[in-house]
């Protein structure tokens, strides 16, 4: 199985390239662009999910990317258990610097193209992406 899928997309007229895809092929190509700020350069991620809320859940449960919104155990004392946000596995989430780009109720909330070794150079539509069709030898 291939290691990395990235995406290209356009955000407010700016071309974004090599955007990591958190869970390619997991939700029929229904993609959201998540932007994690709080520093000079934001982190952009593509997440496949049915809704914006589900995209947050997918990110929170990601072994590779979840640390960007899951509160470290050492910092839990800074969060009020009555008012904080919780992830799908009960994690406390810090969503203060998270923006989600996409349109609720659309078949394709945020259009993009997937890229990776073995995929066509022009990329593929996420709805057409299938791990079984991914050729690692190309």
User: What are the residue ranges of helices labelled H in the chain?
Assistant: 52-60
**Residue 95 contacts by C-beta under 8 Å, 6 or more apart in sequence?**
56, 69, 85
What pLDDT is stored for residue 39 in this prediction? 73
> Is pLDDT larger for residue 134 or for residue 75?
75
What pLDDT is stored for residue 1 in this prediction? 46
- The average pLDDT across 14-24 equals 96
Contact criterion met (CB below 8 Å) for 43 and 24 = no
The mean of the pLDDT values for the chain is: 91
* Domains in the chain: boundaries: 6-133
- The average pLDDT across 15-27 equals 96
What pLDDT is stored for residue 118 in this prediction? 84
What span, in angstroms and rounded, lies between the C-alpha atoms of 127 and 43? 24
Percent above pLDDT 90 for the chain: 83
Token couple for 81? 């258990």
Q: What is the pLDDT of residues 93-136, one digit of tens each?
A: 999 999 999 999 898 999 999 999 889 999 999 999 987 766 55
């Amino acid at each position: 199985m291939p290691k990395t899928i990235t995406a290209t997309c356009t955000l407010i007229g700016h071309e974004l390239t090599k955007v990591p895809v958190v869970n390619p092929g997991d939700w029929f190509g229904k993609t959201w662009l998540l932007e994690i700020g709080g520093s000079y350069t934001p982190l952009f991620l593509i997440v496949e999910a049915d809704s914006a809320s589900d995209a947050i859940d997918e990110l929170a449960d990601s072994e590779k990317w979840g640390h960007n919104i899951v509160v470290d155990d050492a910092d839990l004392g800074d969060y009020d258990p009555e008012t904080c946000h919780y992830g799908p596995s009960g994690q406390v989430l810090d969503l203060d610097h998270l923006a989600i780009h996409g349109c609720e109720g659309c078949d394709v909330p945020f259009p993009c193209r997937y890229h990776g070794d073995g995929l066509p150079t022009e990329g593929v539509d996420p709805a057409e992406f299938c791990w079984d069709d991914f050729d690692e030898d190309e």
